[in-house]
Amino acid sequence: MASAFGPGKVTMPGDFPISLNDVQEAEAALRTVAVRTPLLENPDVNDALGGRFLIKAENVQRTGAFKIRGAYWRLRNMSRGERARGALTYSSGNHALGVAQAARILGTTALIVMPDDAPPAKIAAVRALGADIVPYNRDAEDYADVVARLQNETGRVHVPPSADPLVMAGAGTVSLEIFEQCNARGITPDAILTPCGGGGLTASTAVVAQSQAPSTEVFAVEPAQFDDTRRSLAAGRRVANPKGRRTICDAIMTPIPNDVTFPINQALLAGGLVANDTEVRTAMRFAFEHFKIVIEPGAAVGIAAVLNKQIDIRGRRIVTVVTGGNISEERFCALINPGTG
């Protein structure tokens, strides 16, 4: 899979912090913990789009999102002393849920830094799993500073949402399953679309794709107001999003690509795609009507990119990862019904 962003600016595969072997090791450990989620396909949708459209439904994963995969694998690799001190992370919801659940399974504790505008349903779910929450203001504070202060005060082990090789290896099991499920159908994906916040799922998907099917293109998909990865790929360096912006895609509102995942994405991605909030609403409704699944906004950007023709599906086989379904009934209904929410 060649980089589309010019020679001399990318990390070589041998320098990557994860490999296919790392992902396979994580998969073996996750077999009794994570759900092997379905790869959905609707022949009527395929006929309408003129290609094969497959959805990896991580919304039915344990904790309602793919994040349990990386969180559990990272916490499982803690030493006895580290488990005694507990885990610390930042998250707007899904990674928080994954870390909280993993901590409960493994007999340790979790402290989560969450933005104060995170969806109330996600905050309540994190607390229900036994984690403690420290709120912060995403416009006035830097979450990294808050995490660093708490780590210094508590001695807890930082478990970042994406910028960690073990977390990425766990996330990579999503794409490992995709290729296994596609192989069982006798097909190879032409492209895989991944919702992109911190870029861990995207990077691990690209690493797995390079090993399993180098012809498969991998695209990061972001909200139009939070397209830091797309703009960074074009610039050849990490570029931040302006502060003060908002999107309904709360799960992937990251300020800037991190320095662990971005070199992989810069080297391996075919490009970046975007979807605006109106297109995301349409995609959520489309998934509900045609695939009978409830998904959260950030999980719908890949579907939106196909529907808004950011990528051509005609005569091709495209897989998108639906990363989560953690959304309240009230908010879901408001978002999929025009004129409300």
Residues 43 and 136 in one domain: no
- Asked whether residue 5 is assigned to any structural domain, the reply reads no
Is 71 in the same domain as 60? no
Q: Amino acid identity of 239?
A: V
The pLDDT score that the predictor gives to residue 15 is: 80
Full domain range(s) for residue 221: 13-65+167-336
- Same-domain pairing of 52 and 179: yes
Asked if the structure places residue 7 within a domain, the reply is no
Provide the number of structural domains found in the chain.
2
How far is it, in rounded angstroms, from Cα 26 to Cα 134?
29
Beta-bridge partner residues of 161: none
pLDDT at residue 139, rounded to an integer: 83
DSSP assignment, residue 156?
Answer: P
User: Are residues 180 and 293 located together in one domain of the fold?
Assistant: yes
From 162, 184, 212, the end of a domain falls on 162
Closest CA to 224 of 301, 156, 150, 294: 301
CATH number of the domain residue 253 falls in: 3.40.50.1100
pLDDT in tens, the chain (341 residues): 433 333 334 445 568 999 999 999 999 999 999 999 999 999 999 999 999 999 999 999 999 999 999 999 999 999 999 999 999 999 988 999 999 999 999 999 999 999 998 889 899 999 999 999 999 998 888 888 999 999 999 999 999 999 999 999 999 999 999 999 999 999 999 999 999 999 999 999 999 999 999 999 999 999 999 999 999 999 999 999 998 889 999 999 999 999 999 999 999 999 999 999 999 999 999 999 999 999 999 999 999 999 999 999 999 999 999 999 999 999 999 999 976 54
Stated pTM of the model? 0.93
Residue at 316: amino acid letter: R
Q: Is 324 helix (H, G, I), strand (E, B) or coil?
A: strand
- Same domain as 179, residue 149: no
3-state SS record for 82-143: HHHHCEEEECCCHHHHHHHHHHHHHCCCEEEEEECCCCHHHHHHHHHCCCEEEEECCCCCCH
